[in-house]
Structure 1
Amino acid sequence: MRYSSRVKPISFLKANAAEILSDIASRREPMLITQNGEAKAVLQDVASFEETQETLALLKLLALGNRDIEAGRTRPAREVLKRLREKKTSA
């Protein structure tokens, strides 16, 4: 996706807010808003924003897992499964 075609000044946003929101929701592409020629904000539909947040959460979990691996804070899967089975039978 080329963001250069989705750059609009804040005055355009003010004059066309309803149309822009509809366009963003239907196309599911963000729009960059400028003020005095500088990028100031990104408008994004809610569904895309939620997907982005979920993706970031998964990436954070992966990064934390990689840190645990590097630090040696891991256990073999067999050991973990055995412990879980023992907990299940004792409960």
Structure 2
Amino acid sequence: MTFSTQIKPISYLKSHAAEIIKDFADKDDTLIITQNGEAKMVVMDIAKYERQQDTLTMLKILAYGAKEIEAEKFQDASDFFAAMDGE
């Protein structure tokens, strides 16, 4: 996908809403909507949005884990499993 083909004025969104929704079912596109020549919003399929949110959540978890490791707030896996087994 190239952004240059996905930039549309708000009037396009207003007059082609049904077609845009149909296209989202067929293609994994994102539209950038402009108003007065400036990018103002992004329109995307809900499934794509949900995947994006899942990806952001995973990145936040990874960043949190990296901070925990940096702060040395972790324990060896064998010690963890031993504690879980009650040893």
TM normalised by structure 2 equals: 0.94
Deviation readout 1:44-67 (Å, 9 max, x if unpaired): 101111100001100000000000
Question: Which residue identity does 1:62 align to in structure 2?
Answer: L
Identity %: 44
Q: Extract unaligned runs of 5+ from structure 2.
A: none
Question: Which residue identity does 1:83 align to in structure 2?
Answer: A
Question: Which residue identity does 2:63 align to in structure 1?
Answer: A
Question: In structure 1, the residue corresponding to 2:39 is in which secondary structure?
Answer: strand
For residues 31 and 25 of structure 1, the distance between their equivalents in structure 2, rounded to whole angstroms, comes to 14
For residues 86 and 67 of structure 1, the distance between their equivalents in structure 2, rounded to whole angstroms, comes to 28
Question: Which residue identity does 2:82 align to in structure 1?
Answer: K
Superposition map of 1:39-54 within 5 A: 39-54=39-54
Question: In structure 1, the residue corresponding to 2:80 is in which secondary structure?
Answer: helix
Q: CA RMSD in A?
A: 1.2
Q: Extract unaligned runs of 5+ from structure 1.
A: none
TM normalised by structure 1 equals: 0.90
Q: How many residues align?
A: 87
**Which residue in the other structure is 1:34 paired with?**
34
Q: Which runs of 4+ in 1 moved over 3 A?
A: none
The structure where helix makes up a greater share of residues is: 1
**Which residue in the other structure is 2:86 paired with?**
86
